[in-house]
Structure 1
Amino acid sequence: MALSGMRGLSVFISDIRNCQNKEQERLRVDKELGNVRTRFKNEKQGLSPYEKKKYVWKMLYIYMLGYDVDFGHMEAVSLISAPKYPEKQVGYIVTSCLLNENHDFLRLAINTVRNDIIGRNETFQCLALTMVGNIGGREFAESLAPDVQKLLLSSSARPLVRKKAALCLLRLYRKNPDVVNVDGWADRMAQLLDERDLGVLTSSTSLLVALVANNHEAYWSCLPKCVKILERLARNQDVPQEYTYYGIPSPWLQVKAMRALQYFPTIEDPNTRRSLFEVLQRILMGTDVVKNVNKNNASHAVLFEALALVMHLDAEKEMMSQCVALLGKFIAVREPNIRYLGLENMTRMLMVTDVQEIIKRHQAQIITSLKDPDISIRRRALDLLYGMCDVSNAKDIVEELLQYLSTAEFAMREELSLKAAILAEKFAPDLSWYVDVILQLIDKAGDFVSDDIWFRVVQFVTNNEDLQSYAAIKAREYLDKPAIHETMVKVSAYLLGEFGHLLSRRPGCSPKELFSIIHEKLPAVSTSTIPILLSTYAKILMHTQPPDPELQSQIWAILSKYESCIDVEIQQRAAEYLSLSRKGAALMDILSEMPKFPERQSSLIRKAEDTEVDTAEQSALKLRAQQQVSTALVVTDQRPANGTPFAGQLTLVKVPSMSSNTDVSSADQGLSQTNGVLTTVDPEPPSADLLGDLLGPLAIEGPPPSDNVESRQNIVSGLEGDNAGDASAIVPVDDPQSSVEPIGNTAERFMALCLKDSGVLYEDPHIQIGIKADWRLYQGRLVLFLGNKNTTPLVSVQAVILPPSHLKIELSLVPDTIPPRAQVQCPLEVVNLRPSRDVAVLDFSYKFGNNMANVKLRLPAVLNKFLQPIMVSAEEFFPQWRSLSGPPLKLQEVVRGVRPLSLLEMTNLFNSFRLMVCPGLDPNPNNLVASTTYYSESTQAMLCLVRIETDPADRTQLRMTLASGDPALTFELKEFIKEQLVSIPIAQRAPSPQVPPAPPAAQPTRPAAALSDPGAMLAGLL
């Protein structure tokens, strides 16, 4: 029987591997799922534990292939309580994979898991600890943490069990720090660090790192124990062979111990400090680059952690010099990973005093790294050169950066230009050299030179009379080039307009010649440059005394031409300059030289101080922080003691939305694989749906259902102040005091409502909140349907709207009590004031029995709700497109990391967000053109035009150009569309973080090796 059952699983795995295409595989999986469902349904009472095991294995295999398995969870959980190891093992493994920490079925297994943990069977203990460590969750933490702690401290438990107990407690602590009592645990933690078994010691040190990261004050007694661990490993005392990796005693434990020491601010005891520095000295002396890659990886992990600890402890200069010398060897080797690590750590060393002179000795090698084929190494070399620059080496470094600018890729040129300009300003030996550098910078990288850079050189020249003739001469030389960047035209025209008269005796610099060479550039410049050229013409005319009739007539003709220009600024300048130029001698006073600029801090240096250097360490910290935050809005609500919301005390905090479990970007939720429409599945059966009348008619003009219309409160009016002005796309965090878990994914429900106008916004065991909306131009009317699902009333009901500053929202009075099995309707009026991607939040709370629930829900009053798709013809499109000539009204960006979409899928995506794709406007069949009309109270109707240029050879990148008559709208809509294009489809996300993601549905692949195949993994477990 057993053999035939397992043969059935093996045959099923073989059938899947032999499928020729994705459709065959799907049919075979559906057939097997139907068979398993039938057996569970018809023979539920008669299935033996063995038969359950067989079918649950098949479910797990199907799930690992990437298919949804929405049944059989109860059968998997029930196997946990089986008395035999094979069935119990299956129960624990499948439960770990299929269920997450919030699943209701896990509550059924808590007692069984606890019995296995406190039992005497070590195998069952290991299974239970592994599952709890994988799933985590607050409920597990509260119920099982005391038993896990006892097991960890037990002297009778085997090291294998204690090791798993330490890692399990670490996971529970991360989920709920309250499970570890600081007062009682510090001594126990120090006791664990005396453990002789390295496996238990390594796991305990991982736990220590998490503990001291939150509160190092309580664990000072552990500091000398960590130093003793490092001494033991450095001397290779009592280290078993199985914990020696390529001759390095337990490198993982060394790294963890040094990481823990970095959380303590200092080491007071001189003996402990001396012992630690001896260990660090031994590590520094004993690390070198060898040919064995694995040994290099382990030894360098230990070394770089030791370097971080040396910098943290602010060691003596001799040891710092030794560290820099060692890093100098690393940046000279051929292996790119080692060079990268050397440059990264040398950049961190710059934060320590008295090592800059030592690092300068390696300047030539660092400059060589600036030309490395690997862009990440070039970035680190640029950061290091920027940090080590001072007056003594500024010329050499800036010249190298300018030389490198000609060959640098576009991704680095803007950063490179900014850093070169800052270094030239901060460390210029003389101002003429500074002018040379900035003009070279503009010449070589004009597109990537910000206006701040050429504004700054104009300030320097204006404020220093000795520099004016030199700057004018250099500007005149650059104008002789056949092709120069528009930014160079701006700065040259300005300088010659102000100071060109100082060159009147030089050949080729007469007013007529200066005008002629500047005017040659006029046809090629954009609208934003023409006002500068007109000012230059007026200045030249002013400095030409007595007037040259021929030059005067030429300039007057140009000014007369631009008097009728559509651009208001150009028109005004032309008219005023023409009128002023006819006043004769009075022109000299009106158009005299600009006065000196007031001395103030450079905007470039201020920008550099405000901008973080993108080091690898900071990038990793940002990523870790993003992975720990929730999806939508973080709202910090400081309320008075009486609980009354006070708008003036509300703080809105912007955070990234990259949560591993609930993060859903805008386009994820809105698209199915074919038609771009999201359909949500209600987790409750139809009989429990209290929002059936959502599909009924809703008139935006209709009165609210409340009898007392006059009593409606504008709760949000106080948020129009300073605090609301800085609100960004915020996201709610779960209230730790709430004892009610939501049903379904709240973020997915929100994203579905961004695409449609009615549906369920939130649901938990007691209440269901639905929305129906009607949007007209810049106004919207939403109705909140609050449905009580229970036979007892919900009391203390409160709802407060926390709006961003661009929305004006009025919510009618919400009743304090919702009767049993009843539904309450609360109208909500929305007015859109201006473009923004920020989201309003509904702060909703109620009480059921002794349970208090509080949730913060994003309302789907989002940017695309105020769009109205419009079809435009070529005759309407191209004049509008040409009239919006450049930033900030027209913005262009190359978007990388786009999820691959066919043109049809991309068209559906645009249409779902109310952007009308207009076929035939772009002759290139790989491009899309779309149009829409945006409505707000401030802008009324505003036409928006979008052009998408795709690359058929690489669907993961495209170029997007967006234009409208409002700079804020252009930017916000561009960012909104970009978020949809780079988001991860729901269908391709693994439902649980413990399971590898499924292969893409469009490109089924068979595993090349048995180790990567779920079937082979299951066969090994069988």
Structure 2
Amino acid sequence: MVYYRLKDLIKAVRSCKTAADERAIIQKESAAIRTSFREENADMRYVNISKLLYIHMLGYPSSFGQIECLKLVASPRFTDKRLGYLGIMLLLDEKQETLTLVTNSLQNDMHHSSMYIAGLALCTMGNIASSEVARDLCDEVERLLASSNAYVRKKAALCALRIIHKVPELLDHFVDRVEVLLDDKNHGVLLTAVTLIAELCRQSEETLLQFRRMVPTVIRRLKSLISAGFSPEHDVHGISDPFVQIKLLRLLRILGHGDVEASELMNDVLTQVATNTDGAKNVGNAILYETVLTIMAIESDQALRVLAVNILGRFLSNKDNNIRYVALNTLLKTMAIDHTAVQRHRNTVLECLHDADISIRRRALELSFALVNEQNVRVMTRELLAFLETADEEFKPNMTTRICQAAREYAPNPRWHIDTVIRVLKLAGNSVKEEMLAGFLRLVSQTGELHGYTVRKLFVALQDDISQVIHAH
């Protein structure tokens, strides 16, 4: 049975009881579509491509419809073009030679008077353009970046992103054009322009230096969003246009990295974002998180870094596991930048060791070991030993090694070092690695005055738990 409507085909597939029934229907329908294509049945082309895309979504072969998609794109009707371009994006990729046949249609439609048809061509190119197509149509995209229509400018910026990914040497075509877009009043154009600038800066050091002079413009746009009143169009839970805010913060991160002068200009606006953004909702936390990453990536002053670490400290008290995990992860990276500021949140980190979520416990454990130093080794080791007593078995091998290493590096005296290792052996002796045991024996042999003390401690430990006797040999 041949289904003349997409709706009928979907209904038939959904009613199948077995996979074999579904395959039988798809095979018959694919055969009927192939026959229709061979007969050049133009009236059924739209419906056939619709059904073929559904078949493609189900995972069945559908590449035989590629040329028919090109024929739909050549149609003057918008609906035909829309489905044809969708088919091209789904059924073709940049490695297929058929893609070169699309170039002429893309070029013609980029000159079309309808912004929606021009948008379809730009969208298709932005998704599947190969390096050859990018070179052929680069000038067209550059021209459309200066279009009077905001919708077309937005699509052209996204298309330019694809071009510089495929052919980085073409980025010079867009540098001057995109600078103007930073002052665009349209939300979508600004969002795509900032994304394009960020990518241009990543691709070329020379371009990065050129865009650093635009830092005041980026700061001005960010300040205008912070101080803007309620705008229902782009407001999310009371935050004005959070998507653009996040993109601007990421751009500042790139522009300020390794540049003291640019970073100095950013300090004020980053302080405003960090102090004025409401963290009661996830959208606010997302902006605060990006602000923290930006502060840590640029050459910010000490006070601002402390503020960033304090924001992460607040995240640790959040009920949302995802936010706490992100905070622990970021604090771990921050240790290399500002060890002292992170130390202030040591107690909160230790509380996370007892979290119900194993991923939180794992991150908290990593951070706890990173926090250990000469000043806090006694306190931290006591907490880590308490956690070792109830820790999951998968944690114990790594924990025993890390605790022994910390004791060896920061021990205030040999006696404390010996006590700590014996405590580890009592709690998880079967998980201690041979290297750690060898290190303990060296320690004992080198401290003759503590031989009697060590033997007594080990004897008492064996009396308490004879299962550790293997380590006494």
Question: Do these two structures clear the TM 0.5 threshold for a shared fold by scoring above it?
Answer: yes
Whether the 8 Å contact between 1:77 and 1:105 is mirrored in structure 2 is no
Report which structure shows greater RCO (CA 8 Å, sep ≥6).
1
| 2:209 aligned with 1:217 | yes
Structure 2 residue aligned with 1:133:
126
CA offsets, 1:160-204, max 9 Å, x none? 1111111111122112212212xx644333222122222101101
CA 1:6–1:85 in structure 2 vs 1: closer, same or farther (change >3 Å)?
A: farther
| Partner SS state of residue 327, structure 1 | helix
1:228 to 216, 220, 226: 220
Cα 1:478–1:318 change in 2 (3 A) is same
Q: Is the CA contact (8 Å cut-off) linking 1:166 and 1:207 kept in structure 2? A: yes
Q: How much has 1:72 moved relative to structure 2? A: 2.0
Report which stretch shifted further, 248-257 or 325-334: 325-334
What SS is found at the alignment partner of 1:72? helix
The separation in 1 between residues aligned to 2:264 and 2:211, in whole angstroms, is 20
Q: Please tell me whether the aligned partners of residues 173 and 179 of structure 1 are also in contact (alpha carbons under 8 angstroms).
A: yes
**Is the contact made by 2:94 and 2:129 (CA closer than 8 Å) also made in structure 1?**
yes
Is contact 2:260-2:299 (8 Å) kept?
no
How many angstroms does 1:303 deviate by?
0.7
Matched ranges for 1:887-906 at <5 A: none
- Distance in 1, matches of 2:58 and 2:87, equals 14
From 26, 32, 36, give the equivalent of 2:33.
Answer: 36
Counterparts of 1:755-766 in structure 2, within 5 Å, are none
- Sort the Cα spacing of 1:179 and 1:432 in 2 relative to 1 into closer, same or farther, 3 A: same
**2-side partners of 1:389 and 1:287: how far apart?**
33
Q: How far 1:240 moved relative to its partner?
A: 4.9
Q: Tell me the equivalent position of 2:452.
A: 469
Distance in 2 (alpha carbons) for counterparts of 1:243 and 1:93: 28
- Give the whole-Å Cα distance in 1 for the aligned partners of 2:219 and 2:175: 17
TM-score (ref. length: structure 1): 0.44
**In 2: Cα distance, 1:402 partner to 1:470 partner:** 21
Structure-2 change in CA distance of 1:262 and 1:467 (3 Å):
farther
Give the match for residue 54 of structure 1.
47
Separation in 2, partners of 1:312, 1:418: 32
1:112 corresponds to: 105
CA offsets 1:959-986 (integer angstroms, 9 cap, x no match):
xxxxxxxxxxxxxxxxxxxxxxxxxxxx
> How far off its partner does 1:62 sit?
0.7
- The C-alpha deviation readout for 1:929-978, integer Å capped at 9, x for no partner, is xxxxxxxxxxxxxxxxxxxxxxxxxxxxxxxxxxxxxxxxxxxxxxxxxx
Q: Distance in 2 between matches of 1:278 and 1:217?
A: 22
Q: Over alpha carbons, which structure has the higher Rg? A: 1
Cα distance in 2 between the residues matched to 1:465 and 1:153? 82
Equivalent residue number for residue 195 of structure 1: 184
Question: Which stretches of structure 1, 4 residues or more, deviate above 6 A after TM superposition?
Answer: none
More strand by share: 1
Equivalent position of 1:82 in the other structure: 75
Check whether the contact 1:190–1:221 (CA below 8 A) recurs between aligned residues. Answer: no
Residue identity matched to 1:36: I
Task: Check 1:233–1:482 CA distance in 2 against 1; reply closer, same or farther (3 A cut).
Answer: closer
Give the match's secondary structure for 2:5.
Answer: helix
Question: Deviation per CA, 1:574-617, whole angstroms, max 9, x where unpaired?
Answer: xxxxxxxxxxxxxxxxxxxxxxxxxxxxxxxxxxxxxxxxxxxx
CA contact (8 A) 2:111 2:118 kept: yes
3-state secondary structure, aligned to 2:64: coil
Q: 1:106 Cα shift?
A: 0.9
Structure 2 Cα separation of the partners of residues 231 and 288 of structure 1 = 16
- CA distance, structure 1, for counterparts of residue 307 and residue 212 of structure 2: 29
Higher normalized helix content (fraction of residues): 2
Give the counterpart letter for 2:455 in structure 1.
A
Taking the TM superposition and a 5 Å limit, the aligned residue runs for 1:178-577 are: 178-181=169-172, 185-215=174-204, 216-236=208-228, 240-264=231-255, 265-269=257-261, 276-290=266-280, 296-353=281-338, 356=340, 358-481=341-464, 483-485=466-468, 489-490=470-471, 492-493=472-473
Q: Which amino acid aligns with 2:74?
A: S
Equivalent pair of 1:81/1:88 in contact (CA under 8 Å): yes
> Which residues of 2 match residues 642-721 of structure 1 at below 5 A?
none
Q: Secondary structure at the match of 2:374?
A: coil
Change beyond 3 A, Cα 1:284–1:464: same
1:121 & 1:345 partners in 2: Cα distance? 47
- Does the CA-based 8 Å contact 1:479-1:489 persist in structure 2? no
- 1:152 is displaced (CA, Å) by 1.0
TM-score by length of 2: 0.92
In the alignment, structure 1 residue 23 sits paired with structure 2 residue 20: yes
Please give the alpha-carbon distance, in whole angstroms, between the structure 2 residues aligned to 1:445 and 1:212. 51
Query: 1:685-729 CA distances to partner (integer Å, 9 max, x unpaired)?
Result: xxxxxxxxxxxxxxxxxxxxxxxxxxxxxxxxxxxxxxxxxxxxx
- Structure 2: distance between partners of 1:224 and 1:287: 21
CA spacing shift, 1:323–1:12, aligned 2, 3 Å: same
Partner Cα distance (1:376, 1:344) in 2: 11
SS in 1 for 2:59: coil
Contact 1:152–1:162 under 8 Å retained in 2: yes
Please state if 1:167 is matched with 2:148: no
What is the deviation of 1:281?
Answer: 1.5
- Contact 1:130–1:168, Cα closer than 8 Å, also in 2: yes
RMSD over aligned Cα atoms:
2.3
Which residue identity lines up with residue 415 of structure 2 in the other structure? Answer: S
Query: Residue type of the partner of 1:30?
Result: Q
Aligned ranges 1:58-69 → 2 under 5 Å: 58-69=51-62
Query: Contact between 1:234 and 1:249, CA under 8 Å: does it hold in 2?
Result: yes
Q: Is the 8 A contact 2:263 2:298 kept in 1?
A: no
Deviation at 1:447, TM superposition (A): 4.5
Change (3 A) 1:175 1:408: farther
Question: What SS does the aligned partner of 2:354 have?
Answer: coil
Secondary structure of the corresponding residue to residue 24 of structure 1: helix
CA deviation after TM superposition for structure 1 residue 73, in Å:
1.7
Tell me which amino acid in the other structure corresponds to 2:124.
M
After superposition, residues 8-19 of structure 1 pair within 5 angstroms as 8-19=5-16
1:489 maps to amino acid = I
Structure 1 residue 481: Cα displacement: 4.9
Number of equivalent positions: 468
Cα displacement (A) at 1:142: 1.5
For structure 1, which runs of at least 5 residues remain unmatched after alignment?
291-295, 494-1022
Question: What is the CA distance between 1:367 and its match in structure 2?
Answer: 1.3
Contact 1:461/1:467, CA 8 A, preserved across alignment: yes
**Distance in 2 between the 1:227 and 1:87 partners?**
44
- Once the 2 structures are TM-superposed, how far is the Cα of residue 123 of structure 1 from its aligned partner? 1.4
Question: 1:275: Cα distance to partner?
Answer: 5.2
- How far 1:121 sits from its partner (Å)? 2.3
Contact 1:77/1:106 (CA < 8 Å) preserved in 2?
no
Secondary structure of residue in 2 paired with 1:369: helix
Cross-structure match for 1:1014: none
Q: Deviation of residue 35 (structure 1)? A: 1.2
One-letter amino acid of the structure 1 residue matched with residue 253 of structure 2: Q
CA contact (8 A) 1:6 1:54 kept: no
Using the alignment, how far apart are the partners of 2:8 and 2:461 within structure 1? 77
Which AA in structure 2 matches 1:18?
S
Deviation at 1:273, TM superposition (A): 5.1
Letter in 2 for 1:430: N
CA distance in 2, matches of 1:217, 1:200: 23
Residue-by-residue CA offset, 1:140-173 (whole Å, 9 max, x unaligned) = 211122211211123x2x1111111111111221
Report the secondary structure of 1:241's partner residue: coil
SS at match of 2:304: helix
Alpha-carbon distance, 1:372 to partner: 0.3
After superposition, the Cα gap between the structure-2 partners of 1:268 and 1:394, relative to the gap in structure 1 and judged at 3 Å, is: closer
Change (3 A) 1:68 1:443: farther
